[in-house]
Amino acid sequence: MKPFLFLLLLLPFLAIGQDTTASKAPRDTTIYTFVDEAARFPSPCERYDTTAAAKFECSQQYLLDYVYQRALYPAEAREQGISGTAVVAFIVEPNGMVNRPEILRDPGGGIGLSALRSVVGMAREVLWRPAFQDGKPVRYRVVLPLRFRLEEPKPYVIIGRDTVYTELTKGVTFTGEEGSVAAYFDKYLTYPDIPQDSCATGQLDVQLLIKPNGMVEVNDIIDYNDLGLAFTSKAIDVATGSYGKWIAAEYEGRKVASAYDVSVTYAPTDPGCQYVLNNYNEALNLMQEAQGLVRDSTKVGEGLAKMDRAVELFPRDGRFRILRGQVRLDNNQLTGACEDLRLAKQIALIDWYDSVLPLICRAPAAQTEEN
Protein backbone atom coordinates (compact mmCIF):
# COMPACT_ATOMS: atom_id res chain seq x y z
CA MET A 1 0.00 0.00 0.00
CA LYS A 2 2.84 2.45 0.63
CA PRO A 3 3.76 2.91 -3.05
CA PHE A 4 0.10 3.54 -3.85
CA LEU A 5 -0.20 6.21 -1.12
CA PHE A 6 2.98 7.88 -2.38
CA LEU A 7 1.50 8.23 -5.90
CA LEU A 8 -1.71 9.71 -4.50
CA LEU A 9 0.25 12.31 -2.57
CA LEU A 10 2.08 13.37 -5.74
CA LEU A 11 -1.06 13.96 -7.79
CA PRO A 12 -2.03 17.33 -6.25
CA PHE A 13 1.47 18.70 -6.86
CA LEU A 14 1.43 17.55 -10.49
CA ALA A 15 -1.95 19.12 -11.00
CA ILE A 16 -0.74 22.42 -9.57
CA GLY A 17 2.19 22.43 -11.99
CA GLN A 18 -0.13 21.87 -14.93
CA ASP A 19 -2.44 24.71 -13.88
CA THR A 20 0.49 27.18 -13.66
CA THR A 21 1.51 26.42 -17.24
CA ALA A 22 -2.01 26.74 -18.59
CA SER A 23 -2.53 30.14 -16.97
CA LYS A 24 0.35 31.83 -18.88
CA ALA A 25 -1.15 34.74 -20.87
CA PRO A 26 -0.51 34.91 -24.65
CA ARG A 27 1.67 37.76 -25.97
CA ASP A 28 -0.30 40.70 -27.37
CA THR A 29 0.97 41.30 -30.92
CA THR A 30 -1.69 43.86 -31.86
CA ILE A 31 -0.34 47.06 -33.41
CA TYR A 32 -2.29 49.91 -31.80
CA THR A 33 -2.99 53.35 -33.24
CA PHE A 34 -5.13 54.56 -30.31
CA VAL A 35 -3.97 53.85 -26.76
CA ASP A 36 -4.33 55.14 -23.23
CA GLU A 37 -0.81 56.61 -23.38
CA ALA A 38 1.08 57.15 -26.66
CA ALA A 39 4.72 56.19 -27.19
CA ARG A 40 7.13 59.06 -26.55
CA PHE A 41 10.52 60.02 -27.94
CA PRO A 42 13.05 60.13 -25.05
CA SER A 43 13.62 63.68 -23.83
CA PRO A 44 14.04 65.83 -20.71
CA CYS A 45 10.24 66.15 -20.77
CA GLU A 46 10.06 62.87 -18.83
CA ARG A 47 11.42 64.65 -15.74
CA TYR A 48 8.55 67.15 -15.61
CA ASP A 49 5.81 66.68 -13.02
CA THR A 50 2.93 66.92 -15.45
CA THR A 51 0.44 64.79 -17.40
CA ALA A 52 1.33 62.13 -19.97
CA ALA A 53 -0.35 64.25 -22.67
CA ALA A 54 1.83 67.26 -21.81
CA LYS A 55 4.96 65.11 -21.84
CA PHE A 56 3.95 63.78 -25.26
CA GLU A 57 3.51 67.29 -26.73
CA CYS A 58 6.88 68.32 -25.28
CA SER A 59 8.67 65.22 -26.61
CA GLN A 60 7.37 65.85 -30.16
CA GLN A 61 9.61 68.91 -30.47
CA TYR A 62 12.66 66.87 -29.49
CA LEU A 63 11.64 64.19 -32.00
CA LEU A 64 11.36 66.71 -34.83
CA ASP A 65 14.70 68.32 -33.87
CA TYR A 66 16.36 64.87 -33.97
CA VAL A 67 14.86 63.92 -37.34
CA TYR A 68 15.43 67.24 -39.11
CA GLN A 69 19.10 67.21 -38.11
CA ARG A 70 19.47 63.94 -40.01
CA ALA A 71 17.02 64.28 -42.90
CA LEU A 72 19.20 65.98 -45.52
CA TYR A 73 17.57 67.79 -48.42
CA PRO A 74 18.30 65.59 -51.48
CA ALA A 75 20.31 67.18 -54.29
CA GLU A 76 17.82 65.81 -56.85
CA ALA A 77 14.95 67.61 -55.11
CA ARG A 78 16.92 70.86 -54.94
CA GLU A 79 17.79 70.69 -58.62
CA GLN A 80 14.17 70.06 -59.59
CA GLY A 81 12.75 72.58 -57.11
CA ILE A 82 10.76 69.90 -55.31
CA SER A 83 9.46 70.57 -51.82
CA GLY A 84 6.63 69.16 -49.76
CA THR A 85 5.73 66.86 -46.91
CA ALA A 86 6.99 63.31 -46.67
CA VAL A 87 5.11 60.97 -44.35
CA VAL A 88 6.83 58.00 -42.72
CA ALA A 89 5.48 55.46 -40.26
CA PHE A 90 7.10 53.00 -37.88
CA ILE A 91 6.29 50.69 -34.98
CA VAL A 92 7.46 51.32 -31.42
CA GLU A 93 7.72 47.89 -29.78
CA PRO A 94 6.86 47.21 -26.11
CA ASN A 95 10.60 47.26 -25.34
CA GLY A 96 10.95 50.76 -26.88
CA MET A 97 12.72 49.64 -30.07
CA VAL A 98 11.79 51.25 -33.40
CA ASN A 99 10.77 48.74 -36.04
CA ARG A 100 9.36 48.45 -39.58
CA PRO A 101 9.71 52.04 -40.88
CA GLU A 102 8.02 52.73 -44.19
CA ILE A 103 7.25 55.62 -46.53
CA LEU A 104 3.57 56.55 -46.68
CA ARG A 105 3.92 59.66 -48.84
CA ASP A 106 6.83 60.78 -50.99
CA PRO A 107 6.86 64.19 -52.75
CA GLY A 108 9.62 62.86 -55.03
CA GLY A 109 13.19 63.84 -55.73
CA GLY A 110 14.51 61.48 -53.04
CA ILE A 111 12.70 63.32 -50.22
CA GLY A 112 10.86 60.22 -49.03
CA LEU A 113 14.06 58.20 -48.88
CA SER A 114 15.80 60.97 -46.93
CA ALA A 115 12.99 60.95 -44.39
CA LEU A 116 13.17 57.16 -44.17
CA ARG A 117 16.94 57.25 -43.57
CA SER A 118 16.45 59.49 -40.55
CA VAL A 119 14.06 56.96 -39.03
CA VAL A 120 16.41 54.08 -39.84
CA GLY A 121 19.14 55.90 -37.93
CA MET A 122 16.77 56.40 -35.02
CA ALA A 123 16.09 52.66 -34.94
CA ARG A 124 19.78 52.08 -34.23
CA GLU A 125 20.31 54.94 -31.77
CA VAL A 126 17.14 55.65 -29.79
CA LEU A 127 15.05 53.70 -27.29
CA TRP A 128 11.53 55.11 -26.97
CA ARG A 129 9.19 55.06 -24.00
CA PRO A 130 6.60 52.52 -25.22
CA ALA A 131 2.86 53.06 -25.49
CA PHE A 132 0.59 51.73 -22.75
CA GLN A 133 -2.85 50.20 -22.97
CA ASP A 134 -4.64 49.00 -19.83
CA GLY A 135 -1.43 49.56 -17.88
CA LYS A 136 0.70 47.30 -20.13
CA PRO A 137 3.31 48.24 -22.78
CA VAL A 138 2.04 47.50 -26.31
CA ARG A 139 3.08 47.80 -29.95
CA TYR A 140 2.22 51.25 -31.30
CA ARG A 141 2.27 52.74 -34.79
CA VAL A 142 3.71 56.24 -35.16
CA VAL A 143 2.88 58.32 -38.24
CA LEU A 144 5.32 61.19 -38.71
CA PRO A 145 4.93 63.97 -41.33
CA LEU A 146 8.15 65.79 -42.25
CA ARG A 147 8.10 69.01 -44.23
CA PHE A 148 10.95 69.76 -46.63
CA ARG A 149 11.29 73.41 -47.67
CA LEU A 150 13.87 74.76 -50.08
CA GLU A 151 16.33 77.22 -48.58
CA GLU A 152 18.96 79.27 -50.35
CA PRO A 153 21.87 76.84 -50.75
CA LYS A 154 25.54 77.78 -50.65
CA PRO A 155 27.11 78.05 -54.11
CA TYR A 156 29.83 75.53 -53.26
CA VAL A 157 30.71 72.32 -51.43
CA ILE A 158 33.95 71.35 -49.74
CA ILE A 159 35.70 68.29 -51.19
CA GLY A 160 38.90 67.52 -49.32
CA ARG A 161 40.91 70.73 -49.46
CA ASP A 162 39.05 72.09 -52.48
CA THR A 163 36.14 74.49 -52.56
CA VAL A 164 34.12 73.17 -55.48
CA TYR A 165 31.43 75.44 -56.85
CA THR A 166 28.07 73.95 -57.79
CA GLU A 167 26.53 77.30 -58.74
CA LEU A 168 28.31 78.95 -61.65
CA THR A 169 27.87 82.16 -63.59
CA LYS A 170 29.90 80.66 -66.43
CA GLY A 171 30.34 76.95 -66.91
CA VAL A 172 33.56 75.08 -67.56
CA THR A 173 34.56 74.86 -71.23
CA PHE A 174 36.37 72.00 -72.97
CA THR A 175 38.49 73.18 -75.87
CA GLY A 176 39.75 69.85 -77.26
CA GLU A 177 38.15 67.83 -80.06
CA GLU A 178 35.99 70.77 -81.14
CA GLY A 179 34.56 71.09 -77.64
CA SER A 180 33.32 67.50 -77.34
CA VAL A 181 34.42 65.67 -74.20
CA ALA A 182 32.76 62.50 -75.50
CA ALA A 183 34.79 62.69 -78.75
CA TYR A 184 37.98 63.16 -76.74
CA PHE A 185 37.35 60.02 -74.66
CA ASP A 186 36.26 58.06 -77.74
CA LYS A 187 39.52 58.97 -79.42
CA TYR A 188 41.96 58.28 -76.60
CA LEU A 189 40.27 55.68 -74.38
CA THR A 190 41.21 52.18 -75.48
CA TYR A 191 40.42 48.73 -74.21
CA PRO A 192 43.14 47.59 -71.77
CA ASP A 193 45.90 45.36 -73.10
CA ILE A 194 44.46 42.21 -71.53
CA PRO A 195 42.93 39.02 -72.96
CA GLN A 196 39.42 39.71 -74.21
CA ASP A 197 38.10 36.19 -73.70
CA SER A 198 36.32 37.42 -70.55
CA CYS A 199 34.31 39.80 -72.77
CA ALA A 200 34.36 42.37 -69.95
CA THR A 201 31.82 45.06 -70.84
CA GLY A 202 30.45 47.95 -68.84
CA GLN A 203 30.43 51.56 -67.77
CA LEU A 204 32.48 53.81 -65.51
CA ASP A 205 31.26 57.12 -64.15
CA VAL A 206 34.18 59.51 -63.72
CA GLN A 207 33.89 62.82 -61.88
CA LEU A 208 36.57 65.30 -62.93
CA LEU A 209 37.66 68.26 -60.84
CA ILE A 210 38.64 71.21 -63.04
CA LYS A 211 40.83 73.62 -61.07
CA PRO A 212 40.96 77.41 -61.66
CA ASN A 213 44.36 76.99 -63.37
CA GLY A 214 43.00 74.35 -65.75
CA MET A 215 44.53 71.34 -64.00
CA VAL A 216 42.43 68.19 -63.99
CA GLU A 217 42.02 65.68 -61.17
CA VAL A 218 39.77 62.65 -60.84
CA ASN A 219 37.60 63.24 -57.79
CA ASP A 220 35.63 59.99 -57.96
CA ILE A 221 35.19 56.96 -60.17
CA ILE A 222 32.42 54.36 -60.00
CA ASP A 223 32.98 51.00 -61.66
CA TYR A 224 29.43 49.71 -62.13
CA ASN A 225 30.52 46.38 -63.61
CA ASP A 226 33.55 45.55 -61.46
CA LEU A 227 35.77 45.83 -64.53
CA GLY A 228 38.86 46.27 -62.39
CA LEU A 229 42.02 48.32 -62.03
CA ALA A 230 43.20 47.98 -65.64
CA PHE A 231 40.03 49.71 -66.85
CA THR A 232 39.83 52.41 -64.19
CA SER A 233 43.53 53.25 -64.66
CA LYS A 234 42.98 53.77 -68.40
CA ALA A 235 40.08 56.13 -67.71
CA ILE A 236 42.08 58.11 -65.13
CA ASP A 237 45.05 58.46 -67.50
CA VAL A 238 42.86 59.79 -70.32
CA ALA A 239 41.01 62.14 -67.95
CA THR A 240 44.13 63.69 -66.42
CA GLY A 241 45.71 63.83 -69.89
CA SER A 242 43.13 66.47 -70.83
CA TYR A 243 45.10 69.11 -68.88
CA GLY A 244 45.40 72.27 -70.93
CA LYS A 245 42.14 71.58 -72.78
CA TRP A 246 39.86 73.24 -70.24
CA ILE A 247 38.84 76.79 -69.42
CA ALA A 248 37.86 76.93 -65.77
CA ALA A 249 34.35 77.85 -64.67
CA GLU A 250 33.57 81.25 -63.17
CA TYR A 251 31.50 82.49 -60.26
CA GLU A 252 30.76 86.21 -60.08
CA GLY A 253 33.69 87.07 -62.35
CA ARG A 254 36.42 84.88 -60.85
CA LYS A 255 37.68 81.45 -61.88
CA VAL A 256 36.69 78.63 -59.52
CA ALA A 257 37.01 74.88 -59.22
CA SER A 258 34.07 72.86 -60.50
CA ALA A 259 33.13 69.25 -61.12
CA TYR A 260 32.43 67.65 -64.49
CA ASP A 261 30.88 64.18 -64.85
CA VAL A 262 31.83 61.83 -67.65
CA SER A 263 30.47 58.35 -68.41
CA VAL A 264 32.65 55.99 -70.42
CA THR A 265 31.80 52.56 -71.78
CA TYR A 266 34.20 49.70 -72.45
CA ALA A 267 33.28 47.18 -75.14
CA PRO A 268 35.54 44.33 -76.33
CA THR A 269 36.38 44.14 -80.03
CA ASP A 270 36.81 40.35 -80.16
CA PRO A 271 34.16 38.91 -82.54
CA GLY A 272 33.51 36.14 -80.04
CA CYS A 273 32.11 38.74 -77.65
CA GLN A 274 29.45 40.06 -80.00
CA TYR A 275 26.68 38.19 -78.18
CA VAL A 276 27.67 39.95 -74.92
CA LEU A 277 27.46 43.35 -76.63
CA ASN A 278 24.06 42.45 -78.06
CA ASN A 279 22.79 41.49 -74.61
CA TYR A 280 24.23 44.65 -73.10
CA ASN A 281 22.61 46.93 -75.67
CA GLU A 282 19.28 45.15 -75.29
CA ALA A 283 19.48 45.50 -71.50
CA LEU A 284 20.23 49.24 -71.83
CA ASN A 285 17.18 49.72 -74.04
CA LEU A 286 14.97 47.78 -71.63
CA MET A 287 16.16 49.87 -68.69
CA GLN A 288 15.53 53.10 -70.57
CA GLU A 289 11.98 52.01 -71.40
CA ALA A 290 11.41 50.83 -67.82
CA GLN A 291 12.46 54.16 -66.31
CA GLY A 292 9.76 55.89 -68.33
CA LEU A 293 7.11 53.38 -67.23
CA VAL A 294 7.77 53.41 -63.48
CA ARG A 295 7.17 57.17 -63.33
CA ASP A 296 3.49 56.27 -63.89
CA SER A 297 2.13 54.61 -60.73
CA THR A 298 -0.24 52.50 -62.84
CA LYS A 299 2.64 51.02 -64.87
CA VAL A 300 5.14 50.15 -62.14
CA GLY A 301 4.56 46.41 -62.65
CA GLU A 302 5.19 46.70 -66.37
CA GLY A 303 8.32 48.73 -65.77
CA LEU A 304 9.67 46.27 -63.21
CA ALA A 305 9.09 43.40 -65.66
CA LYS A 306 11.39 45.13 -68.18
CA MET A 307 13.94 45.75 -65.44
CA ASP A 308 13.81 42.07 -64.53
CA ARG A 309 14.58 41.13 -68.13
CA ALA A 310 17.50 43.61 -68.24
CA VAL A 311 18.95 42.16 -65.04
CA GLU A 312 18.59 38.64 -66.45
CA LEU A 313 20.68 39.70 -69.44
CA PHE A 314 23.31 41.51 -67.31
CA PRO A 315 22.94 40.32 -63.69
CA ARG A 316 26.12 41.99 -62.38
CA ASP A 317 25.51 45.49 -63.67
CA GLY A 318 25.53 47.81 -60.67
CA ARG A 319 23.47 50.53 -62.39
CA PHE A 320 20.70 48.10 -63.27
CA ARG A 321 20.65 46.82 -59.69
CA ILE A 322 20.50 50.36 -58.29
CA LEU A 323 17.66 51.40 -60.61
CA ARG A 324 15.56 48.31 -59.91
CA GLY A 325 16.42 48.35 -56.21
CA GLN A 326 15.26 51.97 -55.88
CA VAL A 327 11.94 51.19 -57.58
CA ARG A 328 11.45 48.17 -55.33
CA LEU A 329 12.29 50.26 -52.27
CA ASP A 330 9.85 52.99 -53.30
CA ASN A 331 7.13 50.34 -53.58
CA ASN A 332 7.96 48.63 -50.24
CA GLN A 333 9.31 45.47 -51.94
CA LEU A 334 12.00 45.28 -49.28
CA THR A 335 13.34 41.78 -49.90
CA GLY A 336 13.97 42.52 -53.58
CA ALA A 337 15.38 45.96 -52.78
CA CYS A 338 17.79 44.36 -50.31
CA GLU A 339 19.01 41.89 -52.93
CA ASP A 340 19.60 44.59 -55.56
CA LEU A 341 21.14 47.30 -53.40
CA ARG A 342 23.37 44.93 -51.46
CA LEU A 343 24.75 43.49 -54.71
CA ALA A 344 25.19 46.99 -56.17
CA LYS A 345 27.26 47.94 -53.12
CA GLN A 346 29.37 44.79 -53.56
CA ILE A 347 29.94 45.41 -57.28
CA ALA A 348 30.37 49.19 -57.48
CA LEU A 349 31.60 49.86 -53.92
CA ILE A 350 28.97 52.57 -53.38
CA ASP A 351 27.84 53.68 -49.93
CA TRP A 352 24.66 55.51 -50.95
CA TYR A 353 22.31 53.06 -49.21
CA ASP A 354 24.40 52.11 -46.18
CA SER A 355 21.94 53.67 -43.74
CA VAL A 356 18.99 51.80 -45.27
CA LEU A 357 20.46 48.33 -45.90
CA PRO A 358 20.53 47.18 -42.24
CA LEU A 359 16.80 47.75 -42.04
CA ILE A 360 15.56 46.38 -45.37
CA CYS A 361 17.88 43.37 -45.18
CA ARG A 362 16.52 41.99 -41.91
CA ALA A 363 16.45 38.20 -41.61
CA PRO A 364 13.19 36.67 -42.94
CA ALA A 365 12.67 34.95 -39.58
CA ALA A 366 12.70 38.32 -37.81
CA GLN A 367 10.21 39.77 -40.27
CA THR A 368 7.89 36.78 -39.80
CA GLU A 369 8.03 37.14 -36.03
CA GLU A 370 7.12 40.85 -36.24
CA ASN A 371 4.17 40.13 -38.49
pLDDT in tens, 67-76: 888 888 888 8
pLDDT value at 6 more than 70: no
Average pLDDT over residues 269-273: 90
Band of residue 25 on the pLDDT scale cut at 50, 70, 90: low
Give 144's DSSP letter. E
Band of residue 24 on the pLDDT scale cut at 50, 70, 90: low
Average pLDDT over residues 289-297: 92
* pLDDT given at position 20: 45
pLDDT value at 16 more than 80: no
Query: Which stretch of DSSP H or E encloses residue 164?
Result: strand 162-165
Going from N- to C-terminal start, the domains of the chain cover 31-148, 156-268, 274-366
Mean pLDDT of the chain: 86
Side chain identity, residue 24: K
Q: What angle do CA 318, 323, 326 make, to 5 degrees?
A: 115
* pLDDT given at position 366: 44
Of 193-197, 232-236, 317-321, minimum mean pLDDT range: 193-197
* pLDDT given at position 361: 85
Alpha carbon dihedral 287, 289, 295, 296, in 10-degree steps, equals -140
pLDDT digits (tens, 9 = 90+) for 41-81: 988 888 877 888 888 888 888 899 888 888 888 888 888 88
Answer yes or no: same fold for 31-148 and 274-366.
Answer: no
- Return the CATH fold of 274-366: 1.25.40
Who's near 353: CB < 8 A, 6+ residues apart? 325, 341, 344, 345
The residue among 306 and 61 whose pLDDT is bigger is 306
Band of residue 297 on the pLDDT scale cut at 50, 70, 90: confident
Q: Look at domain 31-148 and name its CATH class.
A: alpha beta
* pLDDT given at position 194: 86
* pLDDT given at position 171: 94
Query: Which stretch of DSSP H or E encloses residue 216?
Result: strand 216-223
The residue among 330 and 287 whose pLDDT is bigger is 287
* pLDDT given at position 3: 41
261 alpha carbon, distance to own chain's centre: 21
Give 181's DSSP letter. H
* pLDDT given at position 365: 41
Of 25-29, 41-45, 52-56, 258-262, minimum mean pLDDT range: 25-29
